[in-house]
Amino acid sequence: MTWLALILLGGMVALDATSLGQLMLSRPFVAASLAGAVIGQPLEGALIGALLEALSLGILPVGASRYPDTGTAAVAAVGTLGLAEVVASAPALLLIVVYGLLWQRISGFSVIGGRYVNEWLVRAGEPGERPRMDRLIEHRHLESMLLDLGRGMLITIVALAIGVPLLPLALSYWALPNIAATLAVSAAAVAVLAGTAPLFAESPRARLVLLAGLVFGSLLLVAR
Amino acid sequence: MKRLPASVRWSVFLRSFAIQGSWNYRTLQGSGFAYALMPVLRHVYGDTERLQDAVIRHSTLFNAHPYLAGIALGAVARMEVDGEDAALIERFKTALRGSLGTLGDRIIWAGWRPACVLLGMVVLLATSSALAGVASFLLVYNTGHVGLRWWALQLGFDGGRHVGERMRTIPVSRWHRFVVTTAAFLLGAALPLIAVGEFTESRLSLPWMAVPAMAAVVGWFVGTAIRMPALIMLAVVTIAGFLVHLIS
């Protein structure tokens, strides 16, 4: 049942990313939180999602650019953690984040493939071939969305099928101290997140606001 | 000026959420544009040969930011209802699509979305509540998102071929400046919360915090290009973990 729910979630998130809605269920930290809820570990899912989010925030889907598919990969990563039934230790977190990043790439390639399939579908509905263009366009459009749903589900199935048996095995062969894993994940996330600063803090005033936020965040940390 | 029935407007609005459903490298959003506009075309032309011609005309290349595509959809719907010349409508779409793409990329993808994501992350990391983090993000973001889609469509319906003049009166720069300044504050707040590494049972001690602090400084100066080196570093540490096991 958990497998089925994760696969459906993977498909839904893939659909949300571009084809239908764009309600941002496909943002890594939302998708990962939903996957976390499915596996019964919402907070762990959300925290993994926050890391994947920090590593993806600067990716902007402008124009016809090609970019990684972050949502489906987040579902696959968190689903792998839950189904493999491993403790969310620092090495497990590192391996899951890396696994999620890998699937972002693979799933991103499948998006490109899907767009070429769409091109073929749309081309198949060109004038002269069928008399009812209005119905044909609607059918092709709905078929494209169904294909995207199927793509997301397939990516999730494959990622879980590989990841679930592999994660415990990989953990038993991983031998650096926990602090190395925590530092690597934390430093990478912070560096990429800080790298987005030029998007928001162009002016000296905005940089001051960012510093004020830094103080606020530090105070929140101390208060906890 | 003829009015479109509310049912047709609603239908176009709902279909606009699927405007990218058949996105492809040849017509980009082209067939999605025709799909979203279909209720208007059926209303205007009925079940005639002219409907088929209109569908073909609107299935050609088109691309805009998906949330702002409603401006073009609404304006083109108005022009079709008013019986404007097909060649004029085509030129109008061509003129509008570039600016709608650039504007949306700037104010939504590079402004509103990251600002809301950062809000959700800060709430999540500050409260340790997945529900609070996700709900705050989805609620704030989609209030703006759905409102923008509706507003864009109405602006297009009302403005028709003159929608460009109406768009010029919108204080986009002031609004964008407010959003990115808020995002800057939230980014600052998120950095220490992420840096502490509290993703498992333990958090980094103060001396170790120097490592993510240095990473933040490097990221700040390198900009978005830091992503690839950071991912390579993660891969190197992962592989190193396996190599150490093999050696020992």
User: Are B114 and A200 inside 8 Å of each other by CB?
Assistant: yes
DSSP 8-state symbol, B62: B
Cα Rg of chain B (Å, integer): 24
User: Are A200 and B129 inside 8 Å of each other by CB?
Assistant: no
Judge residue A75's burial from the number of C-beta atoms within 10 Å of its C-beta, 0-12 exposed, 13-18 middle, 19 or more buried: buried
Q: How confident is the model at residue B201 (pLDDT cuts 50, 70, 90)?
A: low
Would you state the structure tokens that stand for residue A75, as one six-digit string? 């579902």
Question: Residue range A117-135: average pLDDT?
Answer: 75
B63, B120, B200 member nearest A89 (Cβ): B200
Q: Number of H helices and number of E strands within chain B?
A: 11, 0
For chain B, helix, strand, coil in percent to 5 are 80, 0, 20
* pTM (2 d.p.): 0.94
Q: Is the ipTM of this complex over 0.90?
A: yes
Report the length, in residues, of chain A: 224
Res B238 pLDDT > 90: yes
Q: Are B72 and B156 in contact (CB under 8 A)?
A: yes
pLDDT of residue A125: 58
| A22 to chain B: closest CA residue | B17
Torsion (CA) A149, A137, B31, A7 in degrees, nearest 10: 0
User: Are B41 and A198 inside 8 Å of each other by CB?
Assistant: no
Our CA-based measurement puts residue B146 at a distance from the nearest CA of chain A, in whole angstroms, of 9
Q: Are A182 and A97 in contact (CB under 8 A)?
A: no
Question: Residue range B132-160: average pLDDT?
Answer: 96
Judge residue A129's burial from the number of C-beta atoms within 10 Å of its C-beta, 0-12 exposed, 13-18 middle, 19 or more buried: exposed
Question: Biggest alpha carbon distance in chain B?
Answer: 81
For residue range B37-92, what is the model confidence (pLDDT) as tens digits? 999 999 999 988 899 999 999 999 999 999 999 999 999 999 999 999 999 999 99
**Mutation site, B23, B65, B202, interface A, largest A CB count within 10 A:** B23
Domain spans, chain A? 2-197
Q: How confident is the model at residue A166 (pLDDT cuts 50, 70, 90)?
A: very high
Chain B residues in contact with A50 (beta carbon < 8 A): 121, 124-125, 133, 194, 199
Q: How confident is the model at residue B248 (pLDDT cuts 50, 70, 90)?
A: confident
pLDDT of residue B51: 92
DSSP 8-state symbol, B197: -
Question: Residue range A93-101: average pLDDT?
Answer: 96
What are residue A94's phi and psi, to 5 degrees? -60, -50
Would you state the structure tokens that stand for residue A36, as one six-digit string? 């976390």
